[in-house]
Chains A and B, each alone.
Chain A
Amino acid sequence: NAGVTQTPKFQVLKTGQSMTLQCAQDMNHEYMSWYRQDPGMGLRLIHYSVGAGITDQGEVPNGYNVSRSTTEDFPLRLLSAAPSQTSVYFCASSRQGGNQPQHFGDGTRLSIL
């Protein structure tokens, strides 16, 4: 039981490049979410999903895209990377949304030059 798996762990991009951060969970959780963590800002919600085929925006969605074609996978796409998107990105899943513990992946440290 691997829990929540994120890839890659580190990535350096140039401004304007696009990329996809991968997230997979093997706990059969319906709820999945993406956060970014910046110093002093805590965990800010980017996008979330309450089940396959259903996604919604969080607090800071601009510049990011998501899809949820299966229960297990919830990839995050950066459409055109900007230096402001330099951050640590965490994927999380839970059995029943905000009323249950969140299980986090190990994070992806992303630098945009």
Chain B
Amino acid sequence: GENVEQHPSTLSVQEGDSAVIKCTYSDSASNYFPWYKQELGKRPQLIIDIRSNVGEKKDQRIAVTLNKTAKHFSLHITETQPEDSAVYFCAAPSGGSYIPTFGRGTSLIVHP
């Protein structure tokens, strides 16, 4: 099955700084790479995703980049704000897998 590793486990930044979270995966057949945000006490919610036919996708202050050769994808948050503080999860499906495997999560803390 798919093995997804996510780093760092904790990331502390000052408001206005950029944050980058990286995930690596093992199954070269994986073709869909989402990122979820989970605020304290809430459900995980999709914030951005990318498919394997593109290398980068942006949505305002967040972006995801994909390197299929190296089998890693990253979440980039620019101009961080305190409301970006949350746990972020990456996920990847095994080729043909019905259900994704999640990374262990990154706790992002944005200090005002």
Contacts and interface: CB of A to CB of B under 8 A. Distances in A.
Given A41-B104, A45-B99, A98 B93 contact: yes
Contacts of B32: 98-100
Given A50-B98, A97-B97, A98-B94, A43 B46 contact: no
A25 interface: no
B46 A101 contact: yes
Interface string A54-72: 0010100000000000000
A74 interface: no
Interface range on chain A (Cβ under 8 Å from partner): 20 to 34
Interface in B45-94: 45-46, 49, 89, 91-94
Interface in A94-113: 97-102, 104-107
Interface residues of B, number: 26
A13 B84 CA distance: 35
A77 B44 CA distance: 22
A100 B99 CA distance: 9
B98 A31 contact: yes
A90 B43 contact: yes
A101 B104 contact: no
B34 A101 contact: yes
Interface in A35-56: 35, 40-45, 48, 50, 56
Nearest to B49: A101
Given A41-B104, A43-B89, A104 B98 contact: no
Interface string A5-33: 00000000000000000000000000101
Given A90-B44, A99-B93, A106-B43, A42 B98 contact: no
Interface of A: 31, 33, 35, 40-45, 48, 50, 56, 58, 90, 97-102, 104-107
6 contacts: A41-B104, A43-B105, A45-B101, A99-B31, A104-B43, A107-B43
